[in-house]
Amino acid sequence: MHAQVEPGFMVLCIVGILILGSILAAVMNRVPPETSPLDTEKPKLPGPDRSPEEEDDFRFALDRQLNKREDLPKAFGQGGLKGRENVAEACRRWRQYACRKQSLSALALATALSRLCPEGLSADEAQARQEELIALTGEGEGHFLLGLSSIRLYAHFRPQDERTARDAWRQAVEHFRISGHAGHRDGMEAAALLCACGHDLPFTPPEDFQACLPLLKASNTDEQETFYWDLDMHLAESPDYPSMHLRLPFEAANPSAPEALFWNLQLAEAGDSLAMHYLATLWAGTEPPDRARAEDWYRRSMEAGNRADAADALAKCCLAGILLDETGRKTAICLIVSACDELCAAKKIPAGQGAKLSAAHMAELKEYEELSGEAGQRVREQLDACKAEGEALHAQARRALQVWISRRQEENARCLNAARQQLSDLCDSPEDSRQTERETGTDAPAHDDRPHRSFARPDKR
Q: Give every CB contact of residue 409 below 8 A, 6+ residues apart in sequence.
A: none
pLDDT at residue 360 above 70? yes
Q: Cβ atoms within 10 A of the Cβ of 343, count?
A: 18
Question: Which of 37, 38, 41 lies closest to 197, judged by CA?
Answer: 38
Q: Which of the four pLDDT bands, split at 50, 70 and 90, describes residue 358?
A: very high
Q: Give per-residue pLDDT as tens, 50-65.
A: 888 888 878 888 888 8
Q: Which of the four pLDDT bands, split at 50, 70 and 90, describes residue 451?
A: very low
Q: Give per-residue pLDDT as tens, 289-327.
A: 888 999 999 999 998 888 788 898 899 889 888 888 999
Say if CB 106 and CB 94 are below 8 A apart: yes
**Domain spans of the chain, in order of start:** 54-202, 269-408
Q: How many whole angstroms separate alpha carbon 199 and alpha carbon 197?
A: 7
Question: Which of 267, 122, 254 lies closest to 192, judged by CA?
Answer: 267
Say if CB 419 and CB 104 are below 8 A apart: yes
Alpha-carbon Rg for the chain, nearest whole angstrom, is 27
Cα distances (angstroms) measured from residue 159 to each of 93, 119, 129, 155, 163: 23, 21, 27, 8, 10
Q: Which of the four pLDDT bands, split at 50, 70 and 90, describes residue 158?
A: very high
Mean pLDDT, all residues of the chain: 79
Q: Give per-residue pLDDT as tens, 268-291.
A: 998 888 889 888 888 888 888 888
H-assigned helices in 199-284 = 222-234, 257-269, 273-284
Q: How many whole angstroms separate alpha carbon 52 and alpha carbon 231?
A: 19
Cα distances (angstroms) measured from residue 311 to each of 294, 443, 446: 12, 67, 62
Q: How many whole angstroms separate alpha carbon 112 and alpha carbon 101?
A: 19
Q: Cβ atoms within 10 A of the Cβ of 232, count?
A: 11
